[in-house]
Structure 1
Amino acid sequence: MQFSHSDAMWQAFPELRAGALHAGGIHADADVEAAIASFSAIAEARLAKAQEGEFPEIQAWRRGFSRMGLKPTQYRCASEALLRRFRQEHALPRLHPLIDLCNAISLAFAIPIAVFDTEKIAGDLEVRRAKGDETYLTFGGESEHPEANEVIFADSEDRAHARRWTNRQSGLSAVRATTRSVLIVAEALHVSAGDDIARLVETAADALARHWPATPKTAMLSFVSPRFEF
Structure 2
Amino acid sequence: MNIILHPSLNYTELKIGIIHYTKIVVSDSPQMIKGRTRLYQENLFFEMQEVPVTERQGIKEWRKIWKALGSDPNRYRHSAESLMRRIAKQNYLTPIHSAADLNNFFSLQYEIPIGIYDLENISGDVIIEQGNEETGYVGINGRYNSLNNIIVSKDDNGAFGSPFVDSARTAVSELTTEALHIFYLRPSISENDGHALLQSAAKMFTRVNGGDSEVALLTASNPRVTIS
Partner amino acid for 1:220?
L
Distance in 2 between residues matched to 1:70 and 1:39, nearest whole Å: 31
> Using the alignment, how far apart are the partners of 1:211 and 1:30 within structure 2?
10
Cα distance between partner residues in 1 of 2:55 and 2:199: 26
Matched with 1:222 is 219
Q: How does 1:71-86 map to 2 (within 5 A)?
A: 71-86=72-87
Alignment partners' CA distance in 1, 2:119 and 2:179? 5
For 1:62 and 1:166, how far apart are their aligned partners in 2?
11
Q: 2:123 is matched by which residue type in structure 1? A: A
Give the direction of change, closer, same or farther, for the CA distance of 1:156–1:88 in structure 2 (3 Å limit).
same
Amino acid paired to 1:94:
P
Residues 1-230 of structure 1: matches in 2 within 5 Å? Answer: 1-9=1-9, 12-29=10-27, 31-38=29-36, 41-42=39-40, 44-45=42-43, 48-49=46-47, 50-89=51-90, 91-130=92-131, 132-133=133-134, 136-139=137-140, 146-147=147-148, 150-157=150-157, 159-162=158-161, 165-192=162-189, 194=191, 197-230=194-227
Shift in Å, 1:207: 1.0
Gap runs ≥5 in structure 2:
none
The 1:142/1:46 distance shift into structure 2, 3 A limit, reads closer
Rounded to whole Å, the distance in 2 between the matches of 1:191 and 1:120 is 32
| Change in CA separation of 1:95 and 1:141 when aligned onto 2, cut-off 3 Å | same
SS at match of 1:170: coil
Q: Decide whether the 8 Å contact of 1:56 with 1:190 is kept in 2.
A: no
Deviation per residue, 1:158-207 (Å, 9 max, x gap) = x1112xx4111111001112211100010124423645533431221111
Aligned equivalents of 1:82 and 1:174: distance in 2? Answer: 18
Given that 1:20 and 1:228 are in contact with CA atoms closer than 8 Å, whether structure 2 keeps it comes out as no
Amino acid paired to 2:172: V
How far apart in 1 are the matches of 2:173 and 2:8? 32
CA–CA distance in structure 1, aligned partners of residues 31 and 193 of structure 2: 23
Aligned mates of 1:134, 1:193 — CA distance in 2:
31
Q: Percent identity?
A: 24
CA shift for structure 1 position 15:
1.3
Structure 1, unmatched stretches of 5+, are none
2:89 is paired with a residue whose SS is helix
Across the aligned residues of Structure 1 and Structure 2, the Cα RMSD in angstroms comes to: 2.5
**What amino acid sits opposite 1:155 in the alignment?**
D
Contact 2:62 2:186 in 1 (8 A): yes
